[in-house]
Amino acid sequence: MNLIIKIIKIFPPEAAHLIALLSLNLLYKLKILNLFFPKCKEENVQLFGLNFSNRLGTAAGLDKNGDFIDCLGALGFGFIEVGTVTPLPQPGNSKPRIFRVSKEQAVINRLGFNNKGVDHLVRNLKKRKYEGIIGVNIGANKKSKDKERINDYIECFTKVANYTDYITVNISSPNTPSLRDLHDDKNVKILINELENQSKVLNFSGPIFLKISPDEGLEKILNIANLVEKSSLTGLIISNTTTNKNMLDDEKYHSYEGGLSGKPLMSISTSCLKDVKDRYPDLPLIGVGGVINKNDFTKKIQCGASLVQIYTGFTVIGPKIVHNILAE
């Protein structure tokens, strides 16, 4: 299996990602997936009114369209978060748009919310066999501006609400122009208010999280945490990718556009997580960013995360990372 993973990595990053997921799905359909990747014993963790089989989940982006929910779930994740999904299908930014920084266990991406649209995702949610916790990460189309952007979130929220256990509102991708402006006080207040209103209209009782950027100043991040704590929303996911490439040893990547993920993100995202937890100890947090091994996973929990998500670690290490992290 290690040889197969090495062969897959010969392909360009985006193609390799798809080939890997298709391969996992084939093993799942042949009912031999767990011969290669055995599941760990379940913990059964009660959080936010939901029962998680363990604290490790997938981050948005690993399965944008919900095409691989069942095979990912079979690996033993405690929850699966699909998306980011937008109201209309969109191709994303031009290729190449994913760059491996292999020696530093990192990836730079400027995908731009490429996805097949919320209706496609809902169809997959309806037919899934996976019975574990599902979250949907929602976003806005690139061409939407101002109020249209808020409406995009509400449209996605409305369409997925009946088919998901929780919803994540992604305001932090660096690859959709001006999206991070939603971190500003006025904008985030409007967004939170609209989400609260729509959750009442739909009678949606599941958790709602905001996924934030690690690149905003601490004051702005703490302000968002304060607003969320005072609202009916549940908590924060900390964090998305960083636009700061200066932490990379290889200077040729410092000028690359896009978001940096993987091992170099661990320190900045975990520091942000801890700062929020120190100030708002009762606010539920999900930690993501830079988790490559069990020590990273444990560090996120120690710094205040109730749950932890992985994406780049999965692509760097392979599916065995799930067992590596969860095994006693």
| DSSP state at residue 306 | S
Which positions are catalytic? 173
Tell me the pLDDT tens digit for each residue of 100-129.
998 999 999 999 999 999 999 999 999 999
Residue with tokens 């904008």: 187
Cα(154)–Cα(158) distance, integer angstroms: 6
Residue 1 has pLDDT above 70, yes or no: no
pLDDT at 147 over 70: yes
Distance (Å) of CA 45 to CA 49, 71, 135, 176, 192: 10, 22, 16, 35, 28
Tell me the per-residue pLDDT of 13-67, one tens digit each, with 9 for 90 and over: 888 899 999 999 999 999 999 999 998 888 889 999 999 999 999 999 999 999 9
CA distance 247 to 262: 12
Quick: pLDDT tens for 238-275: 999 999 999 999 999 999 999 999 999 999 999 999 99
In the three-class reduction of DSSP (H, G, I as helix; E, B as strand; rest coil), residue 85 is classed as strand
Question: Could you give phi then psi for residue 148, rounded to 5 degrees?
Answer: -60, -40
Per DSSP, 115 falls in state B
Question: How many other C-beta atoms can be found within 10 angstroms of the C-beta atom of residue 32?
Answer: 11
- Using CA atoms, how far residue 163 sits from 129, 131, 136, 208, 247, in Å, is 13, 12, 9, 14, 40
The structure's pTM equals 0.95
Instruction: Quote the CATH superfamily of domain 41-326.
Output: Aldolase class I (3.20.20.70)
Cα 54 to chain centroid distance, Å, stands at 17
| 36 and 1 Cβ atoms separated by less than 8 Å | yes
Tokens standing for 3? 């040889």
- Whether cis (ω within 30° of 0) applies to the bond prior to 239 is yes
Q: Give the domain ranges of the chain.
A: 41-326
Amino acid at 171: I
